[in-house]
Amino acid sequence: MTVFVIGGTGFIGSRLTRSLVKRGESVVCFDIKTDTADYSDLGDRADQVQVVKGDLTQYDDVMACMADAEPDRVINLSYFLGSHHAPHVATKLNVVGMDNCFEAARLLGVKRVVYASSLAVYGMQSHYGERPVTEEDHCYGRKQYAIHKIFNEWQAEDFMDKYDMSITGVRPANITGPDKLRGSVDHVQCLTRPARGEAVRFEYGDFMRLPLHVDDITEVFERVLMADDPKHPVYNSGGTTISMSDIADIVRSYLPDADISFDHETGGREQSGLFLMDNSKLVDEFGVQYRPYAERVLQIINDVRRDEGLEKIAG
C-alpha cells in the first residue's frame, strides 16, 4: 500500500513515515521542506520512502505529486501552529491547503483521507465547566488556529456529503516531544530546558495542560489512517490532565536540582485552554493505550540529555 503523507518530514509526519515503513507500507512524503529529510536509519527499508518537494498551498503541486504517487491513502499533517500568523498566509495553508488535499484526493479516487484537527476547536475549558468534552460538544474556539480547524472539519463533512469519500479527523491534545518547537511549548520547555541544566520560569503554576507524547499521537494517526471504515468522522486524542506545577514536580523527581519557577502559584486554571477531554470513542474502537505520563517525561529528558552528550537519568 502507498500512503501520501503531506507534511511528511515534520514533527509528527517524519515519525509516522517511519512507523508506516516498519509495517511494510510505501510512503511518499510531500513537504515544502525536504533538505533535512533523512530516513537512512531505516536501513534496507529506506527505499520505501520517497520525498517530494511541493507546496500545499499550490493546487497544481498537490495534484501533480499525488497523481504521480498513486496513493491508496492520504494524510494531511501540514499546518501553521498557533494564531499569530498573518491571516492571508495562515488561511492559504490551513484552509486552502486542506481543500487542495481533499480535492486532489477526490479527483484521483483516493477513498481514505485523514487530517489533523486540534483540541483548539473547543476553546477555553471554562465553556464546559469541570467535565471532559466529547466530540459532540459545541466548538467555542475563536482564535485564528481554532477557526481554521473548525472550518476544516466542516470542509471534510462537505466533501463526504457530496462525494463517496471517507475522511477522518483527529483532534490532538498538547503534543509533546524533545524536538517540539512550535505551538504550545511551555509544557515541553518545562522538561527540555531543565534536562539541559537550564533555568526556566513560567507565569502560572496552576495553568492546565493536556500533554500527549508525539509517539502516542503518531500511533493514533496510524491506526485511524489504516482503518478501512472508521465509525466516526472525528476523534478526540485525549491526554493527561495536569498543571504546570505538577509537571515541574515530576521533572524534579528525576532532576532534583531542576530550576523551575513560577511568577504566580495560583490564578492560571481559569485562563487555561481545554484540559479535560473524553477519548472513549478512540479507545473503544482502536484499543489505544498510552504509557504513563511520568514515563514519557523521563523519556523526553533522556532524549534531550543524549543529544546534549549528558548522562542518562535512571528511572
Rounded distance, CA 218 to CA 290, Å? 12
Element (H, E) at 113: strand 112-116
Report the chain's mean pLDDT, rounded to a whole number: 96
User: Which pTM value belongs to this model?
Assistant: 0.95
| pLDDT tier at 140, thresholds 50, 70, 90 | very high
| pLDDT tier at 106, thresholds 50, 70, 90 | very high
- Span 45-72, pLDDT tens digits: 999 999 999 999 999 999 999 999 999 9
Whether 83 shows a pLDDT value over 90: the answer reads no
Rounded distance, CA 284 to CA 232, Å? 12
Torsion of CA 79, 80, 85, 87, to 10 degrees: 10
- Span 17-54, pLDDT tens digits: 999 999 999 999 999 988 888 898 999 999 999 999 99
Cell of 152: 476544516
Instruction: Identify the residue with better confidence: 90 or 267.
Output: 90
Instruction: Return phi, psi of residue 34, to 5°.
Output: -120, -5
| pLDDT tier at 111, thresholds 50, 70, 90 | confident
Which letter, b or e, does each residue of 104-136 get, where b requires 16 or more Cβ atoms within 10 Å of its Cβ? bbbeeebebbbbbbbbbbbbebeebeeebbebe
Cell of 247: 509537571
pLDDT at 245: 97
Instruction: Calculate what percentage of the chain has a pLDDT beyond 70.
Output: 100
Whether 281 shows a pLDDT value over 90: the answer reads yes
Fold adopted by 2-117+136-170+214-236: Rossmann fold (3.40.50)
Beta strands in the chain (DSSP E): 2-6, 26-31, 49-53, 73-76, 112-116, 166-171, 174-176, 200-204, 208-209, 211-213, 234-236, 242-243, 260-264
pLDDT at 193: 97
- Span 184-225, pLDDT tens digits: 899 999 999 999 999 999 999 999 999 999 999 999 999 999
- Span 230-260, pLDDT tens digits: 999 999 999 999 999 999 999 999 999 999 9
pLDDT at 53: 96
Rounded distance, CA 145 to CA 148, Å? 5
Q: Where are the domains of the chain?
A: 2-117+136-170+214-236, 176-209+240-308
pLDDT at 37: 85
pLDDT at 274: 97
Report the amino acid identity of residue 132: P
DSSP 92: I
Quick check: 312 and 305 in contact, CB under 8 A?
yes
Report the amino acid identity of residue 133: V
Whether 265 shows a pLDDT value over 90: the answer reads no
What mean pLDDT is predicted for residues 246-275? 95
Quick check: 33 and 238 in contact, CB under 8 A?
no
Q: Which CATH class is domain 176-209+240-308?
A: alpha beta
Rounded distance, CA 151 to CA 142, Å? 11
Rounded distance, CA 221 to CA 166, Å? 15
